Amino acid sequence: MLFHTQAFLLAFLPLTVAAYYALAGYPQARRWATVLASLVFYGYWDWRLVPLLVLSVLANWLLSLLPPRLPMRWVVAGGVAANLAVLGFFKYADFLAGSVAAALGLRHDPYGIVLPLGISFFTFQQISYLVDLGRGTAPRYRLADYALWVTLFPHLIAGPIIRHHEIIDQFALPPLRPGLAERLSRGFTLLVLGIAKKVLIADQLAALADPLFAAAQAGRTLGLGEAWTAGVAFSLQIYFDFSGYSDMAMGLAMLLGLMLPVNFDAPYRASSIREFWRRWHVTLSRFLRDYLYIPMGGNRLLPAARAGATVATMLLGGLWHGAGWTFVAWGGLHGAALAANQAWNARGLRMPAWLGWLSTMLVVVTGFVLFRAADFASAASIAASMVGVHGLKAVSGAAAMQAADLALLLAAGAIATVGPPAHVWAFERLRPRAWIAAPVAAAFVYLLLLVGGGRNTEFIYFQF
Amino acid sequence: MASWNRYLKALAATALGAGLGIYAFILVLDGYDTVWFAPAFDREPVTSNQRFAFPALARKHRFDSAIVGTSTARLLQPKQLDPLFAARFVNLSMNDATAWEEAQIFAVFRRHHPKPRAVILGIDAVWCQAGEDYRRLTPRPFPAWMYDANRWNDLLHLFNLPALEETARQAAYLVGLRKPKYGKDGYTGFLPPDSDYDLARARFHLYGPGGPRPVVAVVPPVTLGEAEARALKFPMHGLLDEMFGGLPAETLKILVVMPYHLNNQPAPGSRDAAVWAECKRRLAAAAARGGNTHLVDFMIDSDITRRDENYWDPLHYTQAVAARLTQAIAAAVGERRDRQGLYRYFGPSP
């Protein structure tokens, strides 16, 4: 079920929130009702995917019950391996088999494996729990708490990646505790902002970027202006798409009185690539840092080894985003940029903030061309167009940019770089004024009408 | 605390007020004329996509006969057909319709008119494309919810911007602020009037920039062996059984193969021509089995199809030709024989 659909906003959400508060006095029933609602939310897409999710939750939870006298190191290693095996089967089997076949000059017919939604998210979350359990930093939870942490519908399909200790304690808070009206108001307002970011901005940017990437994939050479339009439009699209989703997730959780971690903190204001990754998909960055980079040695390593660990971490981070070599290369590009940043800082070199921002955005936009392109050939073609290899003419073909497209790009760019992030506005700066509430509610009704047309696009991050 | 209560109340009141108000507006004025409990205003078809506008017309009891087809059959005028067949026709033909979509709109008509007086089905390329399967939908949205027997589920599909826009248009028609654009019998002259006809422009559409060129026959002509012809599959013909099967014997059923301009018909002797011939043979056989079923084939080299001045483009003929076709259909069904140089007739003997 998508958040920005009438089925979700007019049926699932009101019923679920009503049940949650109706069961305010029954903590266990409230947890199970929310787990059940989350499974309905998950299964609405394809109910055949529900058993895998349920099995994954039960298996990992049962693992945590094993007596501590057992060698936890091996228990955890086995659990992590099993989780990765499941993820590998569903997400990477075709990719690996295809890559091996290509290396041997053979043909690979895809296995036709259906990728369960959000599998990367719920697998990574549970891996983090098992590792923490092994480190002795995680308690054993009751099944209701554990299941609710993994399945909670606001974050189940596309994150944020929530660590167990960030939310499970919140499940015990009484839903009707003081501040209910404020939590509902702020949560609903952020939900509306998130939907607006997705529907009014990201989807419009997609209409600008998609034909250009499709043209490049079909072998057409883009002009300089077209190539930059494609890169910038997609970079903004994925930001508004994914951060809009995260805003919706935070807003929805707040409707239940739960605070999710921030996932996007104005990443396009970053003046270094390191800062970018502290602001972009923050919960994934933290995961990669804590469960990959630091175990590899992290900042304690010698400079060369540290750079290697950084690149390796980002290569795996790229692969997490999708089973394709373009994603790996995208991770590698960011890894190399981060390693260069480490070397730069280690020498105590400095750069004006504006130059730092510009060079960061160059890496980010170029990276997203690689991320979005269907293959290396079209990515290389667009990148070549961006540096003027295919001539300096602004556009080629019939796709001259309209004034409205330019306005959209400029407005989206301004919001992404100047305005406060939506969650900051809704959760910190919003004041309880009726003249703000009325347009927020009117916007909600307008968005409901807009998404009622039956032609919704999926979130980009659903595939990861 | 109190101020957040006020904020929340303002949120809820505005969202509920605006949402319910808009929904009530859509349900009461009912742009698509599909809400069964809406007040019985004298509504107009409002939308340019006939797939949304015609289910309402298909339900109207003021009609007892229907025309179904694509844009080529949209040019037939019910008011010209009515006196010839002593019937009250509604034209349910839809631009770029697939055979499946035609079957769906006819199913709605049949549900509300179990004993139609006459049915005219325009046969187009969509009925004669050989293959394993046929296309059901086009890029144009098709609201399946309007076509099923359940009127309640329509209510789930009406809270959206297109429905609001069409309802506002309906409201403007009802209060006389706008002049209706689409005919209440389904007929809309979507081509310019004949008085604006421009032969040079039409020839550009017919032949492209190269200008008129003669039809060149394929030599030697392709002939399909009996086994090859029999192996051809026209799966959409199964829809004919759905559409006409079980109709009363007294219902007049007419299949009209629409007259494409000669240059747009398969070249004589080509494989395509042979496939079309096999398709028509099967349709004629189906007509023969059907009872009170007639097939009138205008897709031939005729006085209509070879004259450029009869067409706006390769598919769409002028109003004068539409009137002529109307007369010819009635004559064919009445006389039950070919008329040389105009049409071929297949059906019950006179």
DSSP states of B166-177: HHHHHHHHHTTS
Of A184, A433, A449, the CB nearest to B160: A449
Please, which residues have CB within 8 angstroms of residue B11's CB and are 6 or more apart in sequence?
A185, A188, A189, A437, A440, A441
Residues B84 and B186: their CA atoms lie apart, in Å, by 18
A136: left (phi over 0), alpha (psi -120 to 50) or beta: left
Query: Is position A164 annotated as part of the catalytic site?
Result: no
For the record, the structure tokens of A354 come out as: 């504006």
User: How far apart are the CA of A415 and the nearest CA of chain B, in angstroms?
Assistant: 24
Q: What pLDDT score was predicted for residue A393?
A: 61
pLDDT (mean) for B83-96: 96
- Residues of chain B with Cβ-Cβ distance to A177 below 8 Å are none
Chain A: residues touching B (Cβ < 8 Å): 6, 178-179, 181-182, 184-185, 188-189, 432-434, 436-438, 440-442, 444-445, 448-455
Q: What pLDDT score was predicted for residue A395?
A: 53
Residues A441 and A426: their CA atoms lie apart, in Å, by 14
Of B8, B14, B157, the CB nearest to A181: B8
B36 touches chain A (CB under 8 A): no
Cα R_g (chain B), whole angstroms:
23
Q: Are A410 and A205 in contact (CB under 8 A)?
A: no
Query: Could you tell me the CA-to-CA distances from A181 to A177, A186, A444, B7, B51 in Å, in that order?
Result: 10, 9, 18, 8, 46
Distance spanning both ends of chain A, measured CA to CA: 16
For the record, the structure tokens of A195 come out as: 């939907």
Q: Are A150 and A171 in contact (CB under 8 A)?
A: no
Contact B8 A437 (CB under 8 A): yes
Please, which residues have CB within 8 angstroms of residue A74's CB and are 6 or more apart in sequence?
none
Which residues are B68's β-sheet partners?
Answer: B121
- Which of A436, A448, A451, A455 is best to mutate for the B interface (most B CBs within 10 A)? A448
Nearest to A1 by CA among A50, A31, A43: A43
Q: Are A57 and A118 in contact (CB under 8 A)?
A: no
Instruction: Give, for B297, the enclosing helix (H) or strand (E).
Output: strand B293-297
Residues B260 and B124: their CA atoms lie apart, in Å, by 9
Please, which residues have CB within 8 angstroms of residue A439's CB and are 6 or more apart in sequence?
none
CB atoms within 10 A of CB B302: 20
Q: What pLDDT score was predicted for residue B350?
A: 67
User: How far apart are the CA of B71 and the nearest CA of chain A, in angstroms?
Assistant: 26
Which residues are B91's β-sheet partners?
Answer: B67
Query: Could you tell me the CA-to-CA distances from A153 to A1, A219, A239, A287 in Å, in that order?
Result: 10, 41, 21, 20
What is the 8-class DSSP label of residue A452? T
What number is the ipTM of this complex?
0.86
- Residues of chain B with Cβ-Cβ distance to A442 below 8 Å are 14-15, 18
Instruction: Give, for A174, the enclosing helix (H) or strand (E).
Output: none
pLDDT (mean) for B315-343: 94
Q: What pLDDT score was predicted for residue A295?
A: 85
Strand, helix or coil for residue B123? strand
Instruction: Give, for B71, the enclosing helix (H) or strand (E).
Output: helix B71-74
pLDDT (mean) for B199-209: 92
Contact B14 A442 (CB under 8 A): yes
What is the edge-to-edge ordering of all strands in the sheet holding B65-68?
Answer: B89-91, B65-68, B118-123, B252-257, B293-297, B344-346
Closest chain A residue to B143 measured between Cα atoms? A454
- Residues of chain B with Cβ-Cβ distance to A450 below 8 Å are 160-161
Which residues are A60's β-sheet partners?
Answer: none
In degrees to the nearest 10, what's the CA dihedral of A401, A402, A403, A407? -70
Q: What pLDDT score was predicted for residue A231?
A: 93
What mean pLDDT, rounded, does chain B reach? Answer: 93
Q: What pLDDT score was predicted for residue A203?
A: 92
- Residues of chain A with Cβ-Cβ distance to B12 below 8 Å are 441
Instruction: Give, for B39, the enclosing helix (H) or strand (E).
Output: none
B1 touches chain A (CB under 8 A): yes
Contact A440 B164 (CB under 8 A): no
Q: What pLDDT score was predicted for residue A45?
A: 83
In whole angstroms, what separates CA A264 from the centre of its chain? 9
Instruction: Work out whether strand B293-297 and strand B344-346 pair parallel, antiparallel, or are unpaired.
Output: antiparallel
> Along the 464 residues of chain A, how does pLDDT read in single tens digits?
889 999 999 999 999 999 999 999 999 999 999 999 999 999 998 888 899 999 999 999 998 888 777 777 888 888 889 998 988 888 888 888 888 888 888 888 887 777 788 888 899 899 999 999 888 888 999 999 999 999 999 998 887 999 999 999 999 999 999 999 999 999 999 999 999 999 999 999 998 999 889 988 888 888 888 889 899 999 999 999 999 999 999 999 999 999 999 999 999 999 999 999 999 999 999 988 988 888 888 788 888 888 888 988 888 888 888 778 889 999 999 999 999 998 898 888 888 889 999 999 999 999 999 999 988 989 998 998 888 887 766 554 445 567 888 889 999 999 999 988 999 999 999 999 989 999 999 999 999 999 987 443 444 444 44
Query: Could you tell me the CA-to-CA distances from B79 to A82, B67, B188 in Å, in that order?
Result: 73, 12, 12
| Angle of the B78-85 helix axis to the B319-335 helix axis, nearest 10 | 20
Cis peptide bond N-terminal to A160, omega within 30: yes
pLDDT (mean) for B270-291: 92
Reported as half-sphere exposure (CB side, CA atoms, 13 A), residue B149 has a value of: 4
Which residues are B119's β-sheet partners?
Answer: B66, B253
Q: Which residues of A47-65 are buried (b: 16+ CB within 10 A; e: fewer)?
A: eebbebbbebbeebbebbe
Residues A238 and A246: their CA atoms lie apart, in Å, by 12
CB atoms within 10 A of CB B11: 23
Residue B323 burial (10 A CB sphere; 0-12, 13-18, 19+): middle
**Number of helices and strands in chain B (H, E):** 11, 6
Q: What pLDDT score was predicted for residue A398?
A: 44
Query: Could you tell me the CA-to-CA distances from A299 to A296, A303, A417 in Å, in that order?
Result: 9, 8, 30
Nearest to B330 by CA among B84, B5, B42, B71: B84
Q: What pLDDT score was predicted for residue A185?
A: 97
Q: Are A342 and A307 in contact (CB under 8 A)?
A: yes
Cα R_g (chain A), whole angstroms:
23
Kindly report the pTM of this predicted structure: 0.87
Degrees (nearest 5) of the Cα angle B109, B110, B116? 100
pLDDT 10s digits, B233-247: 999 999 998 999 889
